Amino acid sequence: MIQEKISVFDIFKICIGPSSSHTMGPWVAANTFINALDKSSIDTIYVKLFGSLSKTGKGHGTDIAVMMGLSGHDVKTIDVHKLEDYVDYIKLTKQLPLSAELSIPFNPSIQIEFTNERLTQHANALTFIAKLKSGELVEETFYSIGGGFILQEGKEIGERSDFNFPFPIENEKDLLLYINETNLPISEIVRHNELTVRDNATIQKDLIEIWNVMLASIYKGCQTPGILPGGLNVKRRASEMSFLLLKEKTPQTLPDWIECIRQSDQSFTTIIKWVSCFALAVNEENASFGRIVTAPTNGAAGVIPAVLMYYLCFCENKGEEDIVKFLLTAGEMGCLFKKGATISAAMGGCQAEIGVSSAMAAGALTERLGGTPKQVMMATEIAMEHHLGLTCDPIMGLVQVPCIERNTMGAIKAITACQIALTSDPEKAKVSLDSIIKTMKETAFDMHEKYKETSEGGLAINVSVGIPEC
């Protein structure tokens, strides 16, 4: 069997909201498709969206992602402030820019089709059809499998020539074997794997860049009031929470803001409010097409930043050194779920997003607070155990209700799972990490399609729209 090799940098990817599977995946697929063609030979392009991409694609901005990807914009580096202008230009002129000098006729309302079909291979599928000037048709189908990962039909996932991991890890048993052999913490085992792709200085730099994007999304979310886009009229709450928690203090810079948080009331109630505020902030930014980091998805992007911010503000730490180790451990926990189950809500419900992010954060926090490797895996298991069966039922197909608040719940559960694991003996645990991943996968298969990011069940059909907030 070919092992799937995944880097921590595959789990944590800088992008824009609101969805890794419905926005980032289609965007990357569009980039991949257009870059494989001679652009000057293209006459017209058509796009077909299937399954969950069709049912909730408008709320998730899938059409926007496709247009931006075909236009050659990079999901990591695009200026988010110009996104609306780029989209308006295509809609108004009915021209799709393929480069600075070349455009083709393109009417998104006609040439991006939200079909009523579902392809059997995956719930998130899209097909690109390019008609060339020669009359030839070029057609490719892609599957957006969660967390920004894509598969192209006819191409298998598997061995990667750029990865030669000394510690290939498929499951908890593999990880335990290497821990027993090396006596290294999980973060260092992961670092050794990552060193086959990047040198240590680059690992440090790139992970700090990821954290800085996470931190910027927290801060921006805590400074930005208003109503979220999309028509559901959800009020942004992080800025008001931050203002109330700071009381009379009015910090003008990000470092000053962080210092005010550290000096604030250290009561349980205040800390819980801050953790909730951090998570809300990130996902309000995500819902606004802001720049965030998949962790492991966009819909769950607030959990890990919130828990890491909690650790940095309210626990003893070594700053950047511990940030890097936290992300290494969290990333590997995410890899285990990606390999053994799914991180796609369209395949497994919200347990695959919030559940996995909470498990990742719980394991990482446990290691940083002095837990053993087995306690790390115990905390990871506990967090997922109490997200099993969580459905994905976004109202109006927007990553807002119940998605944003669920990030606060995932963050709090992660901290709780960590504390339980730190005071427990993993040798006496009844449930292993491998068994919870297996159970999550089986639960995903058993879950009804209407609870898998289709907006056909749950809150999506039982809550009337137009409410001021969730």
Domain borders along the chain are 8-152, 172-462
CB atoms within 10 A of CB 250: 10
CA distance 72 to 313: 39
Token reading at 108: 């998104």
CA distance 47 to 389: 33
pLDDT of residue 2: 54
CA distance 141 to 327: 33
Q: DSSP code of 396?
A: G
Q: How far lies 7's CA from each of 157, 213, 328, 466, in Å? A: 14, 19, 10, 42
pTM of the model: 0.95
CA distance 236 to 461: 23
List pLDDT tens digits, range 11-49. Answer: 999 999 999 999 999 999 999 999 999 999 999 999 999
Q: What is the pLDDT along the chain (470 residues), one digit of tens a residue?
A: 456 789 999 999 999 999 999 999 999 999 999 999 999 999 999 999 999 999 999 999 999 999 999 999 999 999 999 999 999 999 999 999 999 899 999 999 999 999 999 999 999 999 999 999 999 999 999 999 999 999 999 886 545 556 789 999 999 999 999 999 999 999 999 999 999 999 999 999 999 999 999 999 999 999 999 999 999 999 999 999 999 999 989 999 999 999 999 999 999 999 999 999 999 999 999 999 999 999 999 999 999 999 999 999 999 999 999 999 999 999 999 999 999 999 999 999 999 999 999 999 999 999 999 999 999 999 999 999 999 999 999 999 999 999 999 999 999 999 999 999 999 999 999 999 999 999 999 999 999 999 999 999 999 999 987 544 43
Beta-sheet strands, E only, within 2-83: 14-16, 42-51
CATH of domain 8-152: 3.30.1330.90
CA distance 214 to 218: 6
List pLDDT tens digits, range 441-450. Answer: 999 999 999 9
Closest CA to 22 of 139, 138, 150, 132: 150
CA distance 139 to 347: 25
- Find the radius of gyration of the CA atoms of the chain: 22
Give buried/exposed letters for 315-346 (b at 16+ CB in 10 A, else e).
eebeeeebbbbbbbbbbbbbbbbbbbbbbbbb
Closest CA to 467 of 396, 417, 367: 396
| Residues sharing a CB contact under 8 Å with residue 227, sequence separation 6 or more, in sequence order | 233, 234, 235, 236
